[in-house]
């Protein structure tokens, strides 16, 4: 099954992609430079930086080729060579190596490189939720290989986002409620939402992209036995019985189950995960516990990846990138102030 996203490989995006080594399992573009957000004009959107992620089978080989073709994209780390760059990519933060503020076709771009295996692990288990969280939202797929494990993991990640959101929503809710909840998953615990991001970011993403969210999630919602989906009315009803919540909890990614276990189970008890999740399913605060678990995952990865970004981008680019984010946050605050 192909990831149900916008399959747009326009000449503009193909031109940018052609500037990089072609051994890529998955390439996608995301963010405010690709999808219009509420409060942003088309003119402003055209000035926003374009964000990309490239999943590659062999990071050392890919960085070797990219250093030959695009050495200027890298910070001082280029002098340490592809092995060290790949080690920094894989061993620190969320397993992604970003080059930012790169001029390309009269636009500025930022691109992250991640190992295909690391991406699959994050999609299935939410170890960091860093790239998995970006793929909860509509993205523009530019290239996708025939890697069956990756394709299955992409769909599993969407199903996990739905399950986690169901646990935090009431029995009856709207499509917009669901998509706001899904979008908010990867921002829960992200310290950049305190400083550096527009506080209306989540609603801005969803408001102007409802149809894109429907395309992404429609098939999964139609096939999900835990929910009654009424697309014509834009309403959903989910099973909030302890049995229904237990089924949803058991379907959550492994890392999130472990975080929930850590929150609920006192030290020294060492009960098995299934027993703890059964207890959580009967707790009126079940949704809050799930939210706390997600918060823990995102908080850790957002801090370590941002710290790593200072090294991979270099000091000057880091300051410039942070300044752009702060200006964006200020504009969002100004829009809300009467």
- Rounded to an integer, what distance in angstroms lies between the CA atom of residue 174 and that of residue 5? 21
pLDDT score at 266:
73
Write the secondary structure of 243-278 as one string of H (helix), E (strand) and C (coil). HHHHHHHHCCCHHHHHHHHHHHCCCCCCCCHHHHHH
Whether pTM > 0.85 for this model: the answer is yes
pLDDT score at 6:
46
pLDDT score at 3:
53
Q: Which of 61, 35, 189, 188 is nearest to 113 (CA)?
A: 61
Q: Is residue 138 part of a domain?
A: yes
Tell the residue number behind the tokens 């494990």, with chain if given: 149
pLDDT score at 312:
78
Do 212 and 6 meet the contact criterion of CB atoms below 8 Å apart? Answer: yes
Below-70 pLDDT ranges, the chain: 1-9, 190-199, 268, 314-338
Q: Is residue 338 part of a domain?
A: no
Q: Is residue 46 part of a domain?
A: yes
pLDDT score at 90:
94
Residue 57, helix vs strand vs coil = coil
- Rounded to an integer, what distance in angstroms lies between the CA atom of residue 133 and that of residue 157? 9
Residue 212, helix vs strand vs coil = helix
| Helix H or strand E encompassing 144 | strand 140-144
Q: Is residue 331 part of a domain?
A: no
Domain of 41 in residue numbering reads as: 11-299+306-314
Q: Is residue 241 part of a domain?
A: yes
Q: Is residue 324 part of a domain?
A: no
pLDDT score at 333:
43
Domain total in the chain:
1
- Rounded to an integer, what distance in angstroms lies between the CA atom of residue 258 and that of residue 293? 8
Structure tokens at 186: 């990867």
Q: Is residue 122 part of a domain?
A: yes
pLDDT score at 316:
59
Q: Give CA torsion, residues 78, 326, 302, 30, to 10 deg.
A: -80
pLDDT score at 42:
72
Q: Is residue 3 part of a domain?
A: no
- Rounded to an integer, what distance in angstroms lies between the CA atom of residue 184 and that of residue 137? 10
- Rounded to an integer, what distance in angstroms lies between the CA atom of residue 287 and that of residue 302? 22
């Amino acid at each position: 099954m192909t990831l149900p996203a916008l399959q747009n490989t326009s000449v503009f995006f193909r031109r940018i992609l052609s500037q990089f080594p072609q051994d890529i399992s998955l390439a996608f573009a995301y963010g405010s430079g690709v999808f219009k957000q509420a409060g942003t004009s088309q003119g402003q959107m055209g000035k926003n930086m374009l964000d990309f992620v490239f999943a590659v089978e062999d990071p050392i080989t890919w960085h070797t080729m990219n250093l030959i073709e695009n050495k200027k994209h890298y910070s001082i780390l280029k002098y340490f060579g592809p092995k060290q760059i790949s080690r920094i990519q894989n061993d620190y933060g969320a397993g992604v190596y970003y080059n930012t503020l790169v001029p390309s076709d009269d636009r500025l771009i930022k691109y992250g490189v991640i190992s295909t295996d690391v991406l699959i692990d994050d999609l299935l288990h939410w170890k960091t939720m860093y790239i998995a969280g970006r793929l909860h939202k509509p993205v523009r797929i530019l290239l996708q290989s025939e890697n069956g494990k990756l394709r299955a993991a992409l769909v599993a990640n969407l199903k996990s986002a739905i399950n986690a959101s169901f646990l935090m929503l009431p029995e009856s809710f709207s499509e917009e409620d669901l998509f706001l909840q899904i979008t908010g998953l990867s921002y829960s615990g992200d310290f950049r939402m305190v400083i550096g991001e527009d506080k209306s970011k989540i609603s801005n993403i969803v408001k102007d992209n409802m149809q894109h969210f429907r395309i992404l999630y429609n098939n999964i919602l139609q096939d999900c036995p835990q929910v009654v989906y009424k697309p014509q009315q834009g309403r959903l009803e989910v099973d909030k019985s302890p049995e229904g919540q237990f089924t949803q909890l058991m379907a959550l990614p492994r890392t999130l189950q472990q975080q929930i276990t850590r929150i609920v189970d006192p030290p020294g008890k060492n009960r098995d995960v299934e027993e703890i999740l059964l207890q959580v399913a009967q707790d009126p605060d079940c949704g809050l516990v799930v939210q706390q678990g997600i918060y823990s995952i995102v908080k850790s990865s957002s801090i370590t990846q941002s710290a790593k970004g200072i090294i991979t981008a270099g000091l000057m680019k880091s300051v410039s990138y942070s300044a752009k984010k702060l200006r964006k946050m200020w504009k969002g605050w100004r829009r809300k102030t009467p």
